[in-house]
Amino acid sequence: MEFISPVDALFLVAESREHPMHVGSLSIFDPADGTGPEFARRAYATLAADQNFHPMFRKRPARLFGTPQLAWTVDSAVELDYHVQRWALPESGGLDALTEVTAGLHSTLLDRHRPLWEAHLIEGLAGDRVALYAKMHHALIDGVGAQRLLQRTLTTDPESGEALVPWHLPPSTGRREHEPRKHTLGTRARALLAAAGSAPSVLRLARTALLEQQLTLPFAAPRTMFNVPIGGARRCAARSWPLDRIRQVKKMTGTTLNDVVLAMSAGALRTYLLEHVALPDKPLIAMVPVSLRPESDDGASGGNAVAALLCNLATDLPDPAARLAAISSSMHRSKEIYRALSPVQAVSLSALTLSPLALSLLLPATVALTSPPFNIVISNIPGPREPQYWNGARVAASYPLSIPLDGQAVNITLTSSADSLDIGIVACRRSVPDVARLLDHLESALTDLEDTVY
């Protein structure tokens, strides 16, 4: 058995019917020469044929000393036709029809008596396109790790007939095959001692940063219609934008690409809340995850390696340029603090930032009794810079889909895919009406930024 880290175990302990704790990806493939039906058949045959599994794809939670969520067990056999399924839209449909089907798949819990992952091939899209929705439990892997793992199945060669599957990949240059990180009781104890040893210095640094007003504070966020208890049903929305548009705003303003994306999100959230007569006077606060994985980490080791920054979204400012400047300044201050920390210290400071969220996961009743630590999670996962192909089909888009929580009823996650920015939104179906309107508002927010800076 392999011990589960405390961070990974939190995603298992906190999971409930209202809080499925998996991350997902919705990829759309554009087969050459209209061979969609044949491509779907060939793709499913490829997925269903490979019975070789990396240990991460054999893991499920086990009881240790009579207690669940302490250790992983590794199944010797995996029922592939359960984990890989084939679907079809009732009629040739577009992205809205696809995301409606995906929302149903994203709402369901993974079976803890089996390895914690699924893959769903969906055909019947307009233009003979084919989609693949895949999900893995967040206790197994974080969003960046999952994205890197999926990217390793792809190639930049449009003529390549090679079709890799994420559960059986050749060894990457930086690792030996089937060499996940081992988490023994000794390594866990050493990690906890290291974190405990760094705590005094982290607290001193956090105190200094707060006194100098360099960090955005938890609980500085106003309560909004997003910061409520949620149900288990989800609604998904997705759209792509030309990456050149975002790069041009970045270039003209001297900000980062992530700053521009956060400004797009802030503008969209401001307009959405105005539509619902629900915009607070105080600015919304976003939690922005930052990966601590080195570039050489291909995702095969699994687990979670993420720090958390809080960003002032300046939704109280009507001017798009002023809003972007405030966001850029907020992110710059937070990054400067984290640059001074070791990885262990960064995780420790993030734990202080996220501790209110962990409390709400374990004690949902606290959501209604306290101010939100932040209003929304907005994640930016770096993607490939060149067009990607799988089984001879071009990847037209790859939408990341993440996790809404009690008090965090909507989540925005994005990734770059060659020359496009792909944004996936997941929301509580009951608490966030007309979530697709956020896509229209994202477009308007980007247009407003372009009009302001040109």
- State the angle between helix axes of 320-339 and 257-275 in degrees (0 to 180), rounded to the nearest 10: 130
Active-site annotation holder among 138, 168, 178, 183: 138
First vs last Cα of the chain: how many Å apart? 59
Are 104 and 89 within 8 A, CB to CB? no
3-state secondary structure string, 258-269? Answer: HHHHHHHHHHHH
Q: At 256, list the tokens.
A: 């980062």
Instruction: Round to whole Å and give the CA distance between 246 and 266.
Output: 15
Which amino acid appears at position 217 of this protein?
L
Paired with 408 in beta bridges are 405
Question: Are residues 414 and 261 in contact, defined by beta-carbon separation less than 8 angstroms?
Answer: yes
Pair 299, 277: CB distance under 8 Å = no
CB contact set of 179 (below 8 Å; sequence gap of 6+):
300
Strand order in the sheet with 117-125: 84-93, 117-125, 130-137, 22-30, 393-401, 389-390
Q: Is 138 a catalytic residue?
A: yes
Mind telling me the catalytic residues? 138
